[in-house]
Amino acid sequence: MKENLKNNVSWLLFMVITFGILAGGYSIGLMSPVVETTLVMIGINVILAVGLNLVIGVSGQFSLGHAGFMAIGAYATAIFSLKNPTFTGFLIGLLVGALLSGIVALLVGIPTLRLTGDYLAIATLGVSEIIRTLIMNFDSVTNGPAGLFGITPFVNWGMVYVVVCVTTLITTNFIKSPAGRATLAVRENEIAAESMGVNTTKYKVIAFVIGAMTAAIAGGLYTSYIQTIVPQNFDFMKSIDILIIVVFGGVGSITGTFIAAIALGFLNMFLQDAGSIRMIIYAVALVGVMIFKPTGLLGTKELSFKKFFSKGGHVNVTSKSK
């Protein structure tokens, strides 16, 4: 318990120092609008990918419905912000979106998470497309395919950074909790876990709900920053983009998720002028990693301060067996 507390404090200190460095760069003009936008998009992708990694890497369930939960949060935040263009309205929309997304995930997760493999992937993809179709057809509320415009901006890089830190700490501490260990047991061998008295459906649903709520929060931040959303922003390819980050960094590695999101985010920024070949270069980079490092950049390894405190050693990268 004490080591875990020290580890959390160390990460908080690291986050504060990193925030200070970024703020210093912003204050002296080193952070251009392009770089700021890139950092915000990286932060939003980190929130999305950390939540999806909890579902795929920790609970072992293959989901393709993350874009749908992101859409719920995005539209809830947009609607409340338009009706009440204050920070309070934005915050209420963000919370309502997360709560609504969690409820939908709970209702969907109880029956669908009894499925496995390709069946679960198809089921979650179907749920995501149902959500997007409902958004497109509720013209009176969502403005249908035309989307919503003129959303009051309340989000900046600092707010996204803070939310990234909070959601990551919540996720990592959940993984280390008794519920998280039970979820890992489900991933390793669901039959064995169930034979030991673990309610496998319960823990799979908990991970699924947490992932859905973080996706909704990311969607709300995205909405407020971009100020314009349409249903096409949350199609099947958006779920694939998030999945790529998870696989690229290493399924089950939160540290890998960060590294992958940052690497792919800046790669996209540097390739903005590459025109039509940008996606080709992007795809070749991904294929190269999958060939030479099929488990992702870090596999299941995590950066940890634990050994630093336990043995007076150095910050190390630890590996979780699968």
Q: How high is the mean pLDDT of the chain?
A: 86
Angstrom distance (rounded) from CA 111 to CA 156: 38
Grade residue 34 by pLDDT with cuts at 50, 70 and 90.
confident
pLDDT for position 191: 86
List pLDDT tens digits, range 41-65. 999 999 999 999 999 988 888 888 8
List pLDDT tens digits, range 71-105. 999 999 999 999 999 999 999 999 999 999 999 99
pLDDT for position 1: 58
Give the end-to-end CA distance of the chain in Å, rounded to a whole number. 24
Q: Check if CATH label 1.10.3470 holds for domain 2-315.
A: yes
Residues ≥6 apart with Cβ < 8 Å to 75? 97, 135, 142, 148, 219, 223, 229
- Looking at per-residue confidence, does 309 or 164 come out higher? 164
Using only C-alpha atoms, the chain has a radius of gyration, in whole angstroms, of 20
Q: For 65, phi and psi rounded to 5 degrees? A: -110, 15
Among residues 113, 161, 133, which one has the least CA distance to residue 67? 133
Question: How many other CB atoms are found less than 10 A from the CB of residue 272?
Answer: 10
Mean pLDDT of 293-307: 73
List pLDDT tens digits, range 213-239. 999 999 999 999 999 999 999 988 899
Question: pTM score > 0.75 for this model?
Answer: yes
The letter for the amino acid at 86 is T
Residue 322 has pLDDT above 50, yes or no: no
pLDDT for position 54: 92
